[in-house]
């Protein structure tokens, strides 16, 4: 992944963390929003989250995703 892709992915991860992250369960919850679902699926394509479908799309951060979140800021 080139630097540009990494910056875009870091921005998407930061937005997903801010708007979709649920601290208690440490998951990303799309709340059945189309944009949230797409964000989780894109992050999963890059190995940043693992997808969990229970009627709606949820995700759990992988180690790579946690490392990416550390680079934001």
- Please check the confidence at residue 73 and state whether its pLDDT lies above 70: no
Number of domains making up the chain: 1
Encode pLDDT of 42-54 as tens digits: 999 999 999 988 7
Check which CATH number belongs to the domain holding 16 and give it: 1.10.10
Encode pLDDT of 16-49 as tens digits: 999 998 877 778 999 889 999 999 999 999 999 9
Distance CA 56, CA 73 (A): 30
Range of the domain at 46: 3-70
* CA 12 from centroid of its chain's CA atoms: 7
């Amino acid at each position: 992944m080139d630097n540009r892709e990494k910056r875009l992915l870091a921005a998407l991860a930061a937005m997903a963390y801010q708007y979709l992250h649920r601290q208690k369960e440490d998951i990303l919850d799309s709340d059945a929003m189309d944009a949230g679902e797409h964000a989780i699926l894109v992050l999963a394509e890059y190995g940043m989250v693992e997808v969990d479908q229970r009627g709606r799309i949820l995700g759990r951060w992988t180690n790579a995703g946690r490392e990416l979140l550390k680079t934001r800021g």
